[in-house]
Amino acid sequence: MELDKCLELLYAGQLLPEETLRALCFKLKEKLVNESNVVHISTPVTVVGDIHGQFHDLLEIFKIGGIVPNTNYLFLGDYVDRGLYSVETMSLLIVLKLRYPNRVHLLRGNHESRQITQSYGFYSECLNKYGGSTGVWQCFTDLFDFLVLCCIIDNELFCVHGGLSPNVQTIDQIRIIDRFREIPHDGAMADLVWSDPEDSGSESGNPNPASTVTHFQVSPRGAGYTFGRSVVEKFLQLNGMSRIYRAHQLCNEGYQVYFGGLVTTVWSAPNYCYRCGNKASILELYDKDHSYFNVFEEAPENKLLNSTGHTTNEAYLKEFFGESTESVDMFSDEYQMASASKRHVEYFL
C-alpha cells in the first residue's frame, strides 16, 4: 500500500491490515538499523512527550503544532499502553517516519518494550484489534528494539525519554550501547529510559542539608536511579550541552522545570488515562535559545470515546453538533435523567 494511502486511512482513525503493518515495520527497521543511538538534528523542531495511546490527542497535537511535514517533530517515547488507541498511534507514527524520515524522529521510551506492554494494555489491545493474533504485537515490539535512544538538537540540547545514568558520563558512551534488544532491567540503556530527576529544592523542608540529593540515588524500590543537580551539571559541562529535555513523568501543567531549567519534563497526554484532568504541552523550539510551551487540553473527541466507541470523525461530529435525533440539550432534565440512568452504578459491598 502506498504510504499516502496509509496516512489517509490512519488520519481517519482506521486500522491498517496486518500484512501492511508487517511490511511497514520491516521497512522502518531497515532504516533505523543505520541510525546511531544518538541522532543529531537542528531547530526549529517541536518536542513531544508521552502520548500513551491517546490517538485523538496526537491528532490534536498536529492541529496545534502544525502538520507533518510542515513542522518537524521529535517524539520522546511512550507511544503505547494505557490509552485506548495505542495501535492507531503507533501505526501513524511509523508511517509518518517512513514518509518523512527527516521531519519525524522517534526515541524509545520505557513502554516500547515487550515486558511492559504485556502488563499495561498494548498487548491486549493488539489482540483485540487483530482477531486474537499476537503477530501484530510482535511486529511492533520487534520494531521497538530499533528505535534510537537519544537526540541532540543544535549540538547542545540533550533529549532522552527518562534521564541520566551513572554508567554514562559522556555521550560517546551512549553511542556504543548495543541498543537492538529488549530494554534490560539494568545498565545504561535502562537508566536512559527509566530514571527521574530528584529536585530536593530548598523549600522541601528537609532538615538535613547533608542529605540533599545532588548525585545518583537508588530508588527505595530497590532498582532504578534518581539523579540530582550535580549529576546534571557535570554531564552538561562534560559534554558541552546546555539543557536536558525529557518526558516520562506526569505533570499537571503539561511540563515541569527542574534545577532552574537545566532539566525540563515535557508531557503530552492530556487528561491522562482519561481521568487525571491534567494539561499537556508540546515544546516548540525556534532556535536553541527561544522556545514556547504550547499547553493544551484533551481533544474534544476523547469525551465521547468511552460512551460511543467510535473513532471516526463523522460519528463524533454527529454527536457533537446534535445532528442525531437522539441528541438533546445537555442542561435539560431529560438529558440528565437519561444520562444518569446510563451511568455506572454498582451495588458494591
Partner 1 sequence: MDNRRIPKHGISMIQVNQAREAFAQTARARDPRIASNPRHQATAAPISNDIIPRVPPSPPRHKCNNPKNPSCPHCSAVIIPAPKATLPAEDTPSISIADWKVSTRKKPILNSKELEDWEVILGGLTLPEMIFGNSFVRIENEKTGWSLDFNALDALKAVKMEDSGIRVSYANKWINSKREQQRTSELDENSLQIGQHYDWTYTTNYKGTVRNGNCDKHFIQDDSLELPIDKLTRPDPILFYDDMILFEDELADNGISMINVKVRVMNERALVLSRFFLRVDGVLFRVYDTRVYVEFNESKVLREYKEHETDYKTVLGRQNSGPSKDPKAILRDSNWVVQQLPLLRRECETIQL
Considering only residues 185, 287, 312, 314, which one is a binding residue for partner 1 as defined by CB under 8 A? 185
Q: Which 55-84 positions form the footprint of partner 1 (CB under 8 A)?
A: 60, 64
Whether 273 and 227 have beta carbons less than 8 Å apart is answered as no
Smallest CA-to-CA distance from 299 within 330, 266, 271, 333 is with: 271
CA neighbor of 107 nearest in space, from 179, 22, 6, 195: 179
**According to the binding rule CB under 8 A, does residue 251 interact with partner 1?**
yes
Residues 104-123 that bind partner 1 (CB under 8 A): 110-111, 116, 118-120, 123
How many angstroms separate the CA atoms of 255 and 46, rounded? 14
**Smaller CB distance to partner 1: residue 22 or 303?**
303
Pairwise CA distance, residues 57 & 276, whole Å: 14
Which three cell numbers mark 24? 511497514
Count of residues that bind partner 1 according to CB under 8 A: 83
Active site residue 111: yes
Among 131, 209, 220, 240, binds partner 1 (CB under 8 A): 220
- Which of these segments, 38-46, 69-77, 147-155, 289-297, binds partner 1 (CB under 8 A)? 289-297
Residue 11 buriedness (CB in 10 A; 0-12 / 13-18 / 19+)? middle
Any contact of residue 224 with partner 1 (CB under 8 A)? yes
Residues 131-170 that bind partner 1 (CB under 8 A): 132, 134, 166-167
Stretch that binds partner 1, among 6-14, 87-95, 307-315, 328-336 (CB under 8 A): 328-336
- Distance CA(332)–CA(30), nearest Å, equals 57
CB of 60 or CB of 145, closer to partner 1: 60
| From 105, 111, 161, 248, active-site residue | 111
Ranges assigned E (strand) in 112-270? 150-153, 157-160, 196-197, 216-218, 225-227, 243-246, 255-258, 263-266
- Regarding 209 and contact with partner 1 (CB under 8 A), the answer is no
Task: Give min distance, CB of 158 to partner 1, in A.
Answer: 21
Instruction: Return the active site residues.
Output: 111
